Structure 1
Amino acid sequence: LDTRDTNLEQYFDECFSFIDEAKAAGGGVLVHCFAGRSR
């Protein structure tokens, strides 16, 4: 759940690894916000 109190930094390494792996495999990744807003 993404609330104002959620520490998103705890997920950065996992997300960056996923993105890097997709790019290395010649793919891409769409990163979006469910609510359509930027934090």
Structure 2
Amino acid sequence: MPFEADATVLGALMGACRLHGAIELGNEVAQLLLES
């Protein structure tokens, strides 16, 4: 990514993971969201 992902970007990515059933990726994104 050409920029640092913030909570807005990570939240959108987590929502997309949920919508498409990407559980493992969603878990990784959730961890990043909690760390930010």
TM-score, normalised on structure 1? 0.46
Structure having greater relative contact order (Cα 8 Å, sep ≥ 6): 2
User: Whose helix fraction is larger, Structure 1's or Structure 2's?
Assistant: 2
TM-score, normalised on structure 2? 0.48
Please identify the structure whose Cα radius of gyration is greater: 1
